[in-house]
Amino acid sequence: MKKNKNLTLKVYNRIIELMLNYEIVPGQRLVFVDLAKQLRVSRTPVNNALSILAQEGYLDFVPNQGYSVRRLSKKDAQELYEIREILEIGFIGQALRKVTDKRLQKIEKHKNAYEQAIANRNFRKLFILDTEFHLAILSMAENKILTARYKDICQKIFLRIRIEELKMDRIKVIRAEHDKLFEAVCFKDVGAARDIITIHHQNSRHSLFSVIFQEKFEAVEYAN
């Protein structure tokens, strides 16, 4: 029984990895027979893993048709962004009280990785690197449930949109917002950090909605 659970978890993680690498894309129908061959396992752990992913909101299941990667709906996007912002603003004060030079170096490393990905035009990876930058800040709060929940929310957003829906101009603005947030973290300025996070999420949400849901978007800038 334990062996079966471990294999299901392994397959689950592998499917998530395929989604992260954009080898499985939003809207794509998943054939568990083909996945089993690709992952070199039996159909049972694949079917179990797909069932879990559907329960978690990553996939849709239609009887007699099977599974497909769930596309991000407007309602889902609104709710996920709202929770993400609340978590980050709510814990930023606790995180900044535990700033150390070593932790700042880790945060800066993630910020630089995002910038390098822009230079390399590795746009799909930007979603992951953006999450890792924010997680590096939130992890200072030393709350594992928080960081796990935050990561899951981010994945439920970026694993369900297509890379061609990204706006390149928004990516450059995110880089500038990261710089401002990092500066606020360095100075342990909780008020400034909260303001920047609010604007950062507001702009990210509106930019995404303008592409996917055809809403008008005007960026909000942070006033120093």
Domain boundaries, the chain: 2-69, 74-212
With contact defined as beta carbons under 8 Å apart, do 15 and 24 qualify?
yes
- Tens of pLDDT, residue by residue over 180-189, are 999 999 999 9
Cα–Cα dist 17/39, whole Å: 12
* Domain at 2-69: CATH code: 1.10.10.10
**Residue 167, pLDDT above cutoff 70:** no
CA 86 to chain centre: 15
User: Stretch 142-147: mean pLDDT, rounded?
Assistant: 96
pLDDT tens for each residue of 44-56: 999 999 999 999 9
The pLDDT, as a whole number, for residue 221 is 62
Q: How does strand 29-30 pair with strand 59-62?
A: unpaired
Please check whether the domain covering 74-212 is classified as CATH 2.40.37.10: no
User: Which pLDDT value is given to residue 202?
Assistant: 92
pLDDT band at 69 (very low <50, low <70, confident <90, very high): very high
The residue behind tokens 């998943």 is 30
Identical fold between 2-69 and 74-212 = no
Contacts 24+ apart (CB under 8 A), 14-20: 14/39, 15/49, 15/50, 15/53, 16/53, 16/58, 16/155, 16/159, 19/58, 19/69, 19/159, 20/128, 20/159
Separation of alpha carbons 218 and 70, rounded Å? 28
Decide if pLDDT at 130 tops 60. yes
**Per-residue DSSP letters for 59-79?**
EEEETTTEEEEPPPPHHHHHH
Calculate what percentage of the chain has a pLDDT beyond 70: 91
Cβ–Cβ under 8 Å, residues 177 and 222:
yes
pLDDT at 224: 61
Q: 180-224: per-residue pLDDT in tens?
A: 999 999 999 999 999 999 999 999 888 888 878 865 545 556 556
| C-beta neighbour count of 108 within 10 angstroms | 15
The whole-number pLDDT of residue 50 equals: 96
| Whether the Cβ atoms of residue 85 and residue 194 lie closer than 8 Å to each other | no
Quick: pLDDT tens for 4-24. 678 999 999 999 999 988 899
pLDDT of residue 207: 84
Question: Looking at the predicted structure, is the pLDDT value of residue 113 above 90?
Answer: yes
Over range 97-108, report the average pLDDT.
98
> And the tokens for 97?
């009280």
Q: Tokens 């990785």 belong to which residue?
A: 113
Specify the pLDDT at position 169: 77
- Is the pLDDT at 3 greater than 70? The verdict is no
Burial class (CB in 10 A: 0-12, 13-18, 19+), 221: exposed
Q: What is the pTM of this model?
A: 0.87
* φ, ψ of residue 61 in degrees (nearest 5): -125, 130
| Residues 29, 64: Cα–Cα separation, whole Å | 12
User: Which is nearest to 98 in space by CA: 159, 45, 140, 53?
Assistant: 140
